[in-house]
């Protein structure tokens, strides 16, 4: 949750996406923060009684975007065209960018370029009121869940890149506790609602097993 970061003057990679105060989604976010504070992530990610799954996924997706935005923002100085000429997560996994509209054929590009494309694309989805309605009573579109799954699948790649290529820098900056807590929350959430295909999680499977078995 974003509150993990307190009021530190972290620079974010992209502008933070705010959920309007007083809205039902804001109340849901507060609920999520309160349950996260209890330390039980397995409980914290569960759909609150009587709540709409789409809305719960929407609120958490915005929050994960803000968290990753902040985490990546702390290491942008280390993730450069020179240090990361391809977007990878270890030697076995390489990602090429395509968004289906502006760039239809996947292109090979550097990690900072890929992450810039990715975060800009996510931001555009979150800002689209027809996809992520912020007003009460406005229904979510039929394709909402498939869009949310694509967003989360892509956000996972930023975690994977940070863990594989920049964990030394994260440790140097003493950010590993934030990274681990954020990623653990993310994983518990996507596993609870089956939002990312297991094969997509392969680059961090070992870490995921470690983080999730500790809590059984």
What are the binding residues for Zn(2+)?
79, 84, 161, 166
- b/e burial code for range 78-98 (CB count within 10 A of at least 16 → b): bbeeeebeebbbeeebebebe
Contact 164, 88 (CB under 8 A): yes
Phi, psi of 61 (to 5 degrees): -65, -45
Cα–Cα distances (Å) from 128 to 124, 134, 142, in that order, read 6, 10, 14
Binding-site entries: 79, 84, 161, 166
> Six-digit token pair at 136?
């009460």
Q: For residues 69 and 12, what is the distance between their CA atoms, to the nearest angstrom?
A: 5
């Amino acid at each position: 949750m974003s509150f993990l970061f307190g009021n530190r003057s972290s620079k974010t990679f992209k502008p933070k996406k705010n959920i309007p105060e007083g809205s039902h989604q804001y109340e849901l976010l507060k609920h999520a923060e309160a349950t996260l504070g209890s330390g039980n992530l397995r409980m914290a990610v569960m759909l609150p009684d009587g709540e709409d799954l789409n809305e719960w996924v929407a609120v958490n997706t915005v929050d994960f975007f803000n968290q990753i935005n902040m985490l990546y923002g702390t290491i942008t100085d280390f993730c450069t065209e020179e240090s990361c000429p391809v977007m990878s997560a270890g030697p076995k996994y390489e990602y090429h960018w395509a968004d289906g509209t502006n760039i239809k054929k996947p292109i090979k590009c550097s990690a900072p370029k890929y992450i810039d494309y990715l975060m800009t694309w996510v931001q555009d989805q979150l800002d689209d009121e027809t996809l992520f309605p912020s007003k009460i009573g406005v229904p979510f579109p039929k394709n909402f869940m498939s869009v949310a799954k694509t967003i989360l699948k892509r956000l996972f790649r930023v975690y994977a890149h940070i863990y594989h290529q920049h964990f030394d820098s994260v440790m140097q900056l003493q950010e590993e506790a934030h990274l681990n807590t954020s990623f653990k929350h993310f994983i518990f959430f996507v596993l609870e609602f089956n939002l990312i295909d297991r094969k997509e999680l392969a680059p961090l499977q070992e870490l995921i097993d470690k983080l999730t078995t500790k809590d059984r």
